[in-house]
Structure 1
Amino acid sequence: MSAPLNPPSLAEAVNAKGFSHAAGFRIVAVAPGNAEVALARRPDLVQFFGHFHGGVITALADQAAGVAVTSSLPAGRIGVTVEIKVNFLSPADGTELVARAKTLKMSGSIGVATVEVFSKDGATETLCAFCTATMRALDLPAEFR
């Protein structure tokens, strides 16, 4: 019998503090090994051409990967980034970014996730970035247990 996994509510609790909260990341969906995180366009999140800044896209992908890996971990553990790689595929000029992450493999305390980041404008989505992230499972701080 395996240990119970982290509840989806953990993602909301972690997202409610610090950079994720300040940036405006919004948890859309969480299921074991999967996550969807969105971010609405704001003037302070774009670069000089008016597209979402690459650092913002990377941060959103990182958050989605962390939520996906954490959601597949036993209760009381959290995935933190060891390595992240992002390929930018097209300008992100929509009204919202949506990052969809999937845990590919968990092996001991190391997990690997992929993330597709879409620039969304109404019903139209354009793949703007692809990410791979390696996460390490650590014990959750006491305030989140």
Structure 2
Amino acid sequence: MKNKNSSRIKAADEARQRPITPNHAFQVTDPANCPGANQASPGAGAQCGPILGLRPLGQPASPGLSAITIPPAAMTLSSDEPPSYIERVQKNFAQQSVMRLMGAELLSIHAGAVDVGLNWSEPLTQQHGFLHAGVLATVLDSTCGYAALSLMPPEADVLSIEFKINLLAPADAPRFRMEGRVVRAGRTITVTEGRAFGITHENGHPREKLVATMHCTLMTVLPRT
């Protein structure tokens, strides 16, 4: 076990040198660079671009972290400033001591979609050296929560009220990517789904393996008047 954990630690250290995605949550490019996008009337200043690792929940995992094109209408910005929800999610995430304790990091933020990265670390494992199910649940819960928060009013906060996690495979990888996607956003209740992927590298190419899924329900918390 000690030798195997030593190899995991080495792989995790190498993974830290290969970030999953650039932390450019709203980086966009000219619509002309968006193949297949409907540019008939995308709106003033509409833009789109490749977002690494971001895909709908219904789409199978790609063999690597290929770029996914976001239609212009989904990436329209009213100005050169990032949408306000990005700063809110970043600020709220920074206040979570447990995310710092685990070493989790924000990878991408979009309306209704957030990705979080986590490196394998021995203190986060169970007796077999796999990432502990409680760690997966904690980070997936937060990831789904921030996906929900991105669609809530500026003055709102978010709390989980229920979640269910399915553990599909041992979380035995040097690096993990958690994604949270909003399924339905209501005025009070938001339903989300999350997925956790273990990331390895074969011949220099990243490979993702689905290790867990989550169904998470959250509530909008508004200030009392």
Same-fold call, TM cutoff 0.5: yes
Contact 1:78 1:138 in 2 (8 A): yes
Q: Contact 2:85–2:151 (CA<8 Å) still a contact in 1?
A: no
Q: CA deviation at 1:76?
A: 1.4
Mean Cα displacement is larger for which, 45-54 or 70-79? 70-79
CA distance in 2, matches of 1:139, 1:95: 39
**Per-residue deviation, residues 27-77 of structure 1 (Å, max 9, x unmatched):** 000111000011111110111111100000000110110010000112111
CA shift for structure 1 position 7: 1.8
Q: 1:15·1:25 contact (CA, 8 Å) conserved in 2? A: no
CA RMSD in angstroms, aligned pairs only = 1.4
Match of 1:62 in 2: 141
Runs of 4+ with deviation above 3 angstroms: none
Which amino acid in structure 2 is aligned with residue 41 of structure 1? W
Instruction: Provide the aligned length of Structure 1 versus Structure 2.
Output: 136
Moved more, 50-59 or 10-19: 10-19
- 1:128 equivalenced with 2:211 (yes/no): yes
Q: Whose Rg is larger?
A: 2
Distance 2:123 2:84 in 1: 33
The 2-side partners of 1:139 and 1:125 are apart by 38
Q: Which residue pairs with 1:19 in the alignment?
A: 98
Query: In the alignment, which residue of structure 2 is the partner of 1:101?
Result: 180
Higher relative contact order (CA 8 A, sep 6+): 1
Q: Give the TM-score normalised by the residue count of structure 1.
A: 0.89
Shift of residue 106 of structure 1?
Answer: 1.3
**Which 5+ residue runs of structure 2 have no aligned equivalent?**
1-82
The 3-state SS of whatever aligns with 1:7 is helix
Distance 2:191 2:121 in 1: 30
Report the AA paired with residue 119 of structure 2.
A
- Show structure 1 runs of 5+ residues with no match: 141-145
CA distance in structure 1 between the aligned counterparts of 2:158 and 2:217, rounded to whole angstroms: 9
Tell me what 2:220 maps to: 137
SS of structure 2 residue aligned to 1:66: helix
TM-score under structure 2 length normalisation: 0.58
The match for 1:112 is 191
**C-alpha separation between the residues in 2 aligned to 1:9 and 1:121?**
31
% identical equivalent positions: 22
Q: Partners in 2 of 1:46 and 1:15 — Cα distance?
A: 23
Match of 1:143 in 2: none
